[in-house]
Chain A
Amino acid sequence: MYHHKTIAELSRGLAAGEYTSEQLTRHFLQRIEEHGAALNCFITVTAAEALAQAREADQRRARGEAGPLTGIPMVHKDIFCTDGVKTSCGSKMLDNFIAPYDATVVHKLKDAGMPMLGKTNMDEFAMGSSNETSFYGPVKNPWNTDTVPGGSSGGSAAVVAARLAPFATGTDTGGSIRQPAALCGITGLKPTYGRVSRFGMIAFASSLDQGGPMTGNAEDAALVLNVMAGFDARDSTSAEREVPDYSAGLARPLDGLRIGLPREYFGAGLNAEVAKVIEIAIEQYKQLGAEVIEISLPNSKLSVPTYYVVAPAECSSNLSRFDGVRFGYRCEAPKDLDDLYKRSRGEGFGAEVKRRIMIGTYALSAGYYDAYYLQAQKMRHLISDDFKQAFKNVDVVMGPTAPDVAFGLGAKSDDPVSMYLSDIYTIAANLAGLPGMSIPAGFVNEMPVGLQLIGNYFDEVRLLNVAHKYQQATDWHMRLPDAYA
């Protein structure tokens, strides 16, 4: 079946003429029709557009103009602006928003000839770790529909885990690609800050946000990153660096690879069964020729408090654009301009978004700036320096992606602080701007466990190589939940 194949396999099949893009696209649309509603993983399905794009891809192939991704269907997280298609960001605020232009990432993947099947559900404005803050309701984890898929890219993770598409885009501000990838048993990559354009990606925290691929394995992540990455003059913090061929480095042997294990990532708060799975994965790496070095990231324990100043501060500023005047939700019958602003925002945003705007507003307000924002920026420096020190002696840092497997729907929704701590191992990479990945490494109580890999700046080639070699030696990434096999 097509959904059992990787992007690399589908690409070869299309090139050999074994099937057409239209056939693939119909197959995945059929799967979305069967399973999409129960998982609640889509906000919009664009069947007609997808089929038109698939036929176009087939024509392009007939003309001899196909690239490696031409004709392979995919989905976008609903945070990426898609010209003419609703782009809600999981919010009532943008429920009526038809994006008037394409994000750079959307444009690039469209140019590569990938039909878009739809837009995936997500935590509202990417603020959440369980997908429960979405205006459209929570996404269900395909491994157990009573549990959360993680967040904020939970819809994208569920789509790939249930193989309703071979590839989904995600975004990661504090773990929003890696944590749902871990909880849903798929491969997720957050590139180095600045590697993938943020243009047209609705901003949450601009100094942390980064888009990246969510796929079935590392080889596929490399294939799509080849297209997603690159300089964009429209993104003021886009990195002006050449894009290497991420596929070319995959096969490099791991002999002599130096893996750093931060002792802080294996302490209190980590589920002992998850720790065991991670230890077995590290053993596997030793057998593949890697050397393991214990390291310390002493300030990493303060990454959550630091993040919950930096991210809300930037969010309170970014989200001030939603004022009910030019686009998005507007309240009924405003009395005056102040009432229009306040009620449009009060009614258009959900509780978690309002909380974060208020944290940021307070942290930036007169008299508190030094105590909160300035202190957080200094902490950010210390957290970042810990990694710089570590990367003098190691090539990749490894540990668990999340402290536990997927939790039950509703289990943490009343306690923001306990929800925030689900991202305890992922946030530091965003604060430092480093690339990070999560790959499937085993199961605890039949729920997937993710192994996190953090690489040095712009070293996605090595990161993907390290993930790929593990996936050549294991089959965790090939396991599918029974209901979607």
Chain B
Amino acid sequence: MNELSRRKFLKGGLAGGAMVSLLGKSSKSEAAPSFGGYPDSMGVLVDLTRCVGCRSCEAACNKEQGLPAPDLPFDDMSVLEEKRRTSEGAYTVVNKYEIPGKDHPLYRKMQCNHCNEPACLTSCFVNAYRKTPEGAVMYDPTVCVGCRTCMIACPFYVPAYSYSSVLNPVIKKCIFCYETRLKFGRPPACVEACPKEVLTFGKRTNLLKIAHDRIRNYPDKYVDQVYGEKEVGGTAWMYLSSAPFEEVGFDTHLGNDPIINYVKEFLTVVPMVLTIWPALFAGFHLLATRKDVQNKENSAGK
């Protein structure tokens, strides 16, 4: 009788486990497809072939976002000699790349790329991030607990932390000028400041058409790729270049899946592990040690 019920229990346990794994699979393929971005979201197409590295965008960003005074004036080109990253004091920076075999260097503007499916957003466990329908990835410092997981999650190393603030350090990054401009249908300050229209602002879907038209019209000028069209599930800021993207500081090994896709499978297992496994293995343990307990009870009774 005892043997039979144990077998039944084990069978039931296995069937339950199989059910859970099946459910887990189906929920992954049906309930959580890739988001792909809001249909009318805005973006910026950055054409590296047009940039002369004047840093007007940096100056405009500094003013618009009320950032601290720079260490050097924005017309000081000596800063281009080193590769800079975005920081708490600079939401956008321009870097210079000497391209072998070309007379002119290429300049690359960096800022938050405002991903369709942002890794910072999906990695944040207090939902401090949101993606607005206009396309901006926004951050709410009031709920942020300062874990800085977003800084590690971002494939472009964009979010910066205000380490200089002792009492209330927060994440600092480009917000697409959402509060002052994008919300009202206006282009970000850097776009407006750019003298050569390196930055083209518009609906992301239209920008993609424009980008591919430029490549089609000037095949000798451009590499046949729009960086950000597909990378990590697509980004609002996209790039055209005359040199291979890896030569101008882009990571070309990010893949086309949103970062969340790499952990979705794992994350669906988490509830199963946390809820079913303890009960299941506690049951196994009780069954396996039942005889010992009985023996102990029997010997105690004797």
| A associates with B | no
Q: Which chain B residues have a beta carbon within 8 Å of chain A's beta carbons? A: none
Chain A interfacial positions (CB closer than 8 Å to B): none
